[in-house]
């Protein structure tokens, strides 16, 4: 795997890699290296090779482009060197960016199949992340690189039906795209492994958010919702624990202070994936706030699955894929940007135990039906269909992030 991210922080890639190892494959990941980390390592049976390419969060478009190109060239070179000794049976590339698929060029010339895993819709993502740079010419270029990357691959997988349908509408053959849902490992997100916390047992309603601190996720709305509840219901002690990092953190800290709720909000920073279930187990309500736009309209936050797997009620932005996946009151929703609506959704859960338990039960059923334990079987079968010569050789994957 060539991963333009820190491998241990990328849940989808880790799930896929570890599933392949469990199925008897040898997986090598080429990813980013933090200062002080060794160049080589191993995690849960997956071999990790790390490259010294500086990661820039919250940078400008040109900085990202230089970073992606630098990583792609170095990853391609290392993959080619490793292939001379290891003889890969498959290369998998994860977006963003889609054009990292061309890091597979040396191996494709050697006859190695390429599986492209599109985590995001790149044209919509860049329009959302860089609105000032968005223009028809840039969108056209992004669409072209997306189509070329898909054409260069042997097969493409993506994370949900909306993403697949979008690609088919754009002209990608339907038989070249399949879906592997971005669902959690229930063995990891198992509430039975943690002490049960009755709702607000200590008199405090504990909210939790786990994920990136970027403009995509409207944590500013969550902070305003907490402030709205604090002002409107002074007898209610509501706290928010934020687990994650990103370029929006300084702004969010200042907003919490401005709203007078700094003592109610704790920013814990990034924690390992393995620590997330413990943090969720100690909370009462999981938050999945997402700013609705053309990009997020195609997405469904994995956080919703994880909270539901841990038996926690969920409040999330009303997104098309969320309503499609979690209907019938499984999740309490609010309109994007509406902090009063979010506060009202929280209030309903706080005041109505029957509503909480019904939502938790329905959401858990949905998660169990699409758990990674089920999806991994389909994923490994897809890998087996494309491994060169039908032999279970080494699998390499490539996964960038932003």
Distance CA 3, CA 91 (A): 11
Residue 59 binned pLDDT confidence (cut-offs 50, 70, 90): low
**Mean pLDDT along residues 48-58:** 81
Residue 402 pLDDT > 90: no
Strand residue runs (E) in 82-203? 88-94, 114-118, 155-158, 177-179
Identify whether the C-beta of residue 397 lies closer than 8 Å to the C-beta of residue 104.
no
Strand residue runs (E) in 134-249? 155-158, 177-179, 204-210, 237-243
Secondary structure (DSSP) of 245-297? --TTHHHHHHHHHHTT-GGGEEEEE---GGGHHHHHHT-SEEEE----STTGG
Q: In degrees rounded to 5, what are phi and psi of residue 92? A: -115, 130
| CA geometry: angle 99, 319, 326, nearest 5 deg | 110
Identify whether the C-beta of residue 234 lies closer than 8 Å to the C-beta of residue 352.
no
Domain boundaries, the chain: 3-183+372-400, 191-369
pLDDT, tens only, 164-190? 999 999 999 999 999 999 999 999 999
Which stretch of 110-124, 126-140, 280-294 has the lowest confidence by average pLDDT? Answer: 126-140
Give the gyration radius of the chain's Cα atoms. 21
- Tell the CATH topology of 191-369: Rossmann fold (3.40.50)
Distance CA 183, CA 199 (A): 25
Please tell me the predicted confidence (pLDDT) of residue 383.
92
**Mean pLDDT along residues 62-79:** 90
**Mean pLDDT along residues 282-296:** 96
Q: Which two tokens stand for residue 26?
A: 């040898």
Domains 3-183+372-400 and 191-369 share a fold: yes
Please tell me the predicted confidence (pLDDT) of residue 393.
45
Residue 395 binned pLDDT confidence (cut-offs 50, 70, 90): low
* Residue 74 CB burial class (10 angstroms; 0-12, 13-18, ≥19): middle
pLDDT, tens only, 209-222? 999 999 999 999 99
Chain centroid to CA 397: how far? 17
Identify whether the C-beta of residue 314 lies closer than 8 Å to the C-beta of residue 285.
yes
- Tell the CATH topology of 3-183+372-400: Rossmann fold (3.40.50)
State percent of the chain over pLDDT 70.
Answer: 95
pLDDT, tens only, 317-374? 999 999 999 998 899 999 999 999 999 999 999 999 999 999 999 999 999 999 999 9
pTM over cut 0.85 = yes
Asked whether the CA dihedral 358, 372, 42, 1 is positive or negative, the reply is negative
Please tell me the predicted confidence (pLDDT) of residue 359.
97
Q: What's the helix, strand, coil split of the chain in %, to 5?
A: 50, 20, 35
Residue 289 pLDDT > 90: yes
For helices 353-369 and 302-309, the axis angle rounded to 10 degrees is: 110
């Amino acid at each position: 795997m060539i991963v333009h991210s820190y491998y241990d922080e990328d849940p989808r890639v880790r799930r896929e890699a570890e599933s392949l190892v469990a199925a008897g494959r040898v997986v090598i990941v080429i990813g980013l290296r933090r200062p002080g980390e060794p160049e080589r390592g191993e995690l849960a049976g997956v071999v990790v090779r790390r490259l010294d390419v500086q990661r820039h969060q919250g940078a400008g478009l040109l900085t990202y482009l230089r970073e992606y190109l630098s990583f792609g060239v170095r990853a391609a070179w290392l993959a080619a060197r490793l292939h001379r000794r290891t003889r890969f049976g498959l290369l998998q590339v994860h977006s963003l960016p889609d054009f990292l698929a061309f890091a597979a060029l040396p191996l494709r010339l050697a006859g190695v199949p390429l599986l492209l895993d599109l985590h995001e819709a790149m044209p919509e993502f860049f329009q959302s992340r860089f609105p000032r740079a968005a223009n028809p010419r840039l969108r056209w270029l992004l669409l072209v690189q997306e189509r070329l990357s898909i054409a260069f691959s042997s097969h493409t997988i993506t994370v949900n039906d909306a993403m697949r349908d979008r690609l088919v509408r754009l002209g990608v053959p339907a038989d070249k795209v399949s879906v592997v849902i971005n669902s959690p490992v229930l063995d990891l997100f198992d509430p039975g492994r943690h002490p049960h916390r009755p709702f607000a047992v200590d008199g405090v309603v504990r909210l939790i958010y786990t994920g990136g601190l970027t403009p995509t996720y409207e944590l500013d709305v969550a902070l305003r919702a907490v402030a709205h509840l604090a002002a409107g219901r002074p007898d209610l002690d509501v706290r928010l624990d934020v687990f994650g990092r990103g370029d929006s953190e300084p702004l969010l800290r200042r907003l919490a202070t401005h709203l007078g709720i700094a003592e109610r909000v704790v920013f814990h920073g990034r924690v390992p994936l393995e620590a997330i279930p413990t943090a969720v187990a100690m909370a009462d309500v999981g938050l999945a706030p997402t700013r609705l736009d053309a990009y997020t309209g195609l997405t469904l936050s994995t956080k919703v699955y994880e909270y539901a797997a841990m038996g926690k009620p969920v409040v999330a932005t009303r997104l098309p894929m969320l309503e499609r996946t979690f209907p019938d009151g499984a999740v309490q929703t609010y309109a994007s940007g509406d902090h009063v609506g979010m506060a009202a959704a929280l209030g309903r859960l706080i005041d109505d135990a029957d509503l909480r338990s019904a939502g938790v039960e329905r959401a858990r059923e949905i998660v169990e039906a699409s758990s990674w334990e089920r999806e991994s079987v389909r994923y490994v079968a897809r890998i087996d269909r494309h491994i060169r010569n039908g032999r279970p050789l080494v699998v390499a994957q490539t996964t960038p992030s932003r």
